[in-house]
Structures are given as C-alpha cells and as structure tokens.
C-alpha cells in the first residue's frame, strides 16, 4: 500500500519539501555512492548513522556489530556522534528505503508546508526527526546498531496531516501479485492504519529480553515522530497562511463551478 497522491491542492510551491527530497538523494548519491559500493555504504551508515549506544554511553567502546560481508561497525566516542541524530535523517540503507521516504514526504509534506510556512516547516521536520531519534534511543539505549533514514521525520509530517487534513482522500496504490489498483481512501484511515501497524510491529522489541540487539526497522522512531507531529501540528500552523489557502481554494471552486 503506497501513497501516490492526494486530492489536496497547494497554493504555493513546496520549496522546502522539494529541498529535503533533493538533499536526501544528493547525500545518497554523493556520500553513500547510491548503494553501488557495499563498503562505502556500510561506512556511511556506521560512521554517520545514529547509534543509540554511542549517544547514551551504554554500549561498550570497541564492541561491534556486523554491518556487511566481513564488515563490522565498532562503537566509538568521536565528536561527530552528537550530530548523528540530524545527519542520519539524510542517510538511507537502500533504493527502496529512500524512494519510499521521498514518496511519503512528497504526498504529505507539500500540504503541511502550505499551511505552516517554509521556515516553520523545516523546523517542524527536524524537531519531529529528533523526537523520533529520542524515542528510538529510549527503547534501545544500549543498541550498537546504527540507524539511518528520514522515516522518523516523515512520520511527524504524517501525524500533522492526520490532525490538519483527516478527511482528504489519499490515492493509495495497492499491489495484488501482478495487479495494480489505485484506491482513494480518507487520510485518517490511511494514517491511523499505518500508525497502528508501527505500534504492533514495535511490540516484540519491547518484550524482547535483549532489545539492544534489535535490528531492522526502527518502529519506535516512527511512533515517536508521528506522536510529535500530532502534538505539534497546530502549534506550527500559520493562521494567515491557513486563511489565505482557504480563500484561494474557495475562489478556485467557485470559478470552476461557473466555468
């Protein structure tokens, strides 16, 4: 189930949303080699990704975790570790990872930027990403596994969309083996389903006797980012932009009705 669009027009070019997507792909290509070099990709994830155990200081220095063929990521105390919660938002682990995040950000981000404003949207995005990182660290403070991806910040954008545009129809692409079908669904249904899926998927990590060794998808980062987005959405809305958007879209409807 993949979002490919919505019935929610914007009134301004989503400059920041476009910038964030371009930045993600620029880092993926220029820093991570677009995944073409396994060693370069592993090094970027290990050295620039967020490692909960490094930030909490609870993972033993010098300990490591396998990160690729004959490769291991070793815990260190370098100064750049403090910046990894932000840096890691622009790193990814593969083509599907970055394409998925870019699609979700484009579908849901442009409308949030439209009513929040460009500067506020950038701040909102980064704050949600940091909230996602904090949630991930809180669940796995000893984890030596590096985490990368924009998913936590994008989850915050999705949370804001749930608050601000719950009834908008989102066009979802369903893939049934070899059959592709686009089905419009209300945003609240899509987003609450997605959030519930993250919660249920993250429960095994909470119940695990060794959560610090959990790998794969950082579900609790998604949950933390989404909750932050829901909580902060109305605080970041610019009333003047919201009213202007309402007036312009209303005028468009009236013009279309007369045409």
pLDDT tens digits, one per residue of 156-167: 999 999 999 999
Long-range contacts of 243-251 (CB under 8 A, 24+ apart): 244/11, 245/11, 245/114, 245/115, 248/11, 249/9, 249/11
The answer for residues whose C-beta is within 8 angstroms of residue 254's C-beta and 6 or more apart is none
Residues 115 and 189: their CA atoms lie apart, in Å, by: 22
Contacts 24+ apart (CB under 8 A), 199-203: 199/223, 202/139
Tell me if 147 sits within 8 A of 136, measured CB to CB: yes
> For position 33, what pLDDT does the model report?
95
How confident is the chain (259 residues) per 10-residue block, as mean pLDDT? Answer: 88 96 97 93 94 92 84 90 96 95 96 96 98 94 93 97 95 81 91 93 74 67 96 95 86 66
3-state secondary structure of 162: helix
Task: Report DSSP state, residue 211.
Answer: G
Q: What is the pTM of this model?
A: 0.91
Give yes or no for a contact between 74 and 63, defined as CB atoms under 8 angstroms apart: yes
* Alpha-carbon Rg for the chain in angstroms: 19
The C-alpha atoms of residue 30 and residue 41 are separated, in whole angstroms, by 11
DSSP string, 57-92: T-SPTT-EEEEETTEEEEP---GGGGGHHHHGGG--
Measured in residues, the chain has a length of 259
Nearest to 140 by CA among 239, 78, 213, 248: 213
pLDDT at 1: 74
The pLDDT tens digits for 215-231 are 567 899 999 999 999 99
d(Cα 69, Cα 93) in Å, to the nearest integer? Answer: 15
For the chain, domains (ranges, CATH) are 2-258 (1.20.1540.10)
């Amino acid at each position: 189930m993949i979002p490919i669009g919505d019935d929610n027009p914007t009134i301004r070019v989503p400059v920041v949303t476009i910038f964030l997507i371009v930045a993600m792909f620029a880092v993926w290509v220029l820093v991570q080699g677009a995944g073409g070099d396994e060693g370069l990709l592993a090094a970027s994830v290990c050295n620039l990704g967020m490692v909960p155990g490094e930030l909490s200081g609870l993972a033993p220095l010098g300990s490591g975790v396998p990160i690729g063929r004959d490769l291991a990521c070793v815990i260190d105390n370098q100064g750049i570790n403090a910046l990894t919660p932000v840096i890691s938002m622009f790193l990814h682990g593969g083509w599907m990872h970055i394409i998925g995040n870019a699609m979700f950000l484009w579908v849901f981000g442009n409308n949030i930027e439209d009513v929040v404003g460009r500067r506020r949207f950038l701040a909102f995005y980064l704050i949600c990403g940091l909230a996602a990182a904090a949630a991930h660290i809180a669940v796995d403070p000893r984890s030596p596994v590096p985490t990368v991806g924009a998913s936590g910040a994008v989850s915050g954008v999705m949370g804001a969309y749930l608050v601000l545009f719950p009834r908008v129809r989102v066009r979802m692409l369903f893939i049934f083996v070899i059959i592709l079908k686009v089905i419009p669904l209300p945003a609240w249904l899509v987003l609450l389903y997605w959030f519930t899926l993250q919660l249920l998927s993250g429960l095994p990590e909470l119940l695990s006797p060794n959560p610090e060794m959990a790998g794969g998808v950082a579900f609790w980062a998604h949950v933390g980012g989404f909750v932050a987005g829901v909580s902060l959405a109305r605080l970041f809305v610019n009333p003047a932009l919201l009213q202007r958007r309402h007036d312009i879209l209303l005028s468009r409807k009236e013009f279309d009705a007369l045409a």
